Amino acid sequence: MLQQLNAASAMARVEGVDEGAVAQEFLTFTLGEEEYAIDILRVQEIRGYDAVTRIANTPSFIKGVINLRGTIVPILDLRIKFSLGDVTYNEFTVVIILSVGERVVGVVVDSVSDVITLDAEQIKPAPQFSSAMDSGHIRGIGTMDERMLILIDIERLLLSPELGLTDRAVQ
């Protein structure tokens, strides 16, 4: 399925795009009442939420690790990371496996919605907040008809020094 998504992504970058404007595909997902989107090119696969092996002394948003075909993959819960309230795992809860930098990381989200294409003019700059709020991982706001999507710079978020998932931090 992911190979089909990547092929569709490549096609979307070529067809139906004005000169100078670059369309980009995003995987959309929900966390609580809000809809988020990440670059589809970072998505390796989507899995149902399953038990993880907990690691002692990790922050609460790091659920543990899974063995994904011989690769040990850390699993983070974005609802906990973003302080979005109580976490409920149900049949819609999924883990998005991402390839970020040289790492494979899984993120737990409430549900995956669809894959959308946004043109450059549909992406608005991220809002400016006070320095007390960390919004550096927000790439912008995508608008599509009546929908507003929070575009996450997943590489910046997952490779940040705060998470400690890698020695290399995104500047």
Whether 5 maps to a domain, the answer reads no
- Taking only the tens place, the pLDDT of each residue in 108-160 is 999 999 999 999 999 998 877 655 556 678 889 999 988 999 999 999 888 87
Q: How many CB atoms lie within 10 A of CB 110?
A: 23
pLDDT of amino acid 131: 55
Task: Tell me the C-alpha distance between 166 and 129, whole Å.
Answer: 27
Closest of 138, 137, 136, 73 to residue 108, by C-alpha: 73
Q: What is the pTM of this model?
A: 0.80
Q: How far apart are CA 171 and CA 102, in angstroms?
A: 16
Please check whether residue 12 lies inside any domain of the structure. Answer: no
Contact call for residues 143 and 120 (beta carbons, < 8 A): no
How many structural domains does the chain have?
A: 1
Interval 3-58: pLDDT, tens: 454 444 444 443 433 445 678 999 999 998 899 999 999 999 999 999 899 999 99
State which residues form the domain around 93.
Answer: 22-163
Judge whether 86 lies within some domain.
Answer: yes
Q: Identify whether 132 is part of a domain.
A: yes
The answer to whether position 28 is within a domain reads: yes
**Residue 7 domain-assigned?**
no
